[in-house]
Structures are given as structure tokens and as C-alpha cells.
Amino acid sequence: MGRDESGSKSKNVTNFGWFVFIVWFCSNLLSQLAYIIAYGLPYDGISMLQSLGPVYYVAIFIEVMMWLFLGGFIGKKLLNKINPVPMTPA
């Protein structure tokens, strides 16, 4: 019997996407925590990003893509729950 390679690849991409998102989110939390412990106040993320110069736009683009991925993934899951695809017998 043949295996569905596209389903496995899609699952791997989804797992990788979740891994990247979780690492990104946790690193943001940990860096904010470290800054608060050191200085007593949260840092201003916009000022820090703008100090990067032109790389600032790349960082913002990556962050927007991460949020779009998360929103799309959650939206797709919700649509699948609302409108389940009927299984057809083979």
C-alpha cells in the first residue's frame, strides 16, 4: 500500500511552524523577564527594533509573518471544526 507523502510533509511543516513560533514567543518572554530583573522596567521594543536600522523592517516582516501563520492555522482549524469534510468510502 502506498503512503500519502503530502500529508506527512504537511504535518512536518506544521510541526516545524509551531516549533518556530513557540521558540520565538518564549525568547520574547525570557528577554523581557531578564530586562525587568536587571532594570526594573520593561524595555521599549519599538525603540530597540528601530535601533537596528534597515534590519528593523526584516524583523517586523518576520514577526508579521509569524502572526499571520498563527492566525491562518487557527482559522483553518476553526473552519474544519465548523465545516467538517465528509469521508467517502473507498
| The pLDDT of residue 6 is above 60 | no
| The residue type at 46 | I
Please give the pLDDT value at position 9.
66
Q: pLDDT tens for residues 11-32?
A: 777 778 788 888 988 998 998 8
- Identify the residue whose cell numbers are 516582516: 61
Q: pLDDT tens for residues 68-90?
A: 988 888 888 888 888 877 777 76
| Residue ranges per structural domain of the chain | 12-82
Please give the pLDDT value at position 10.
66
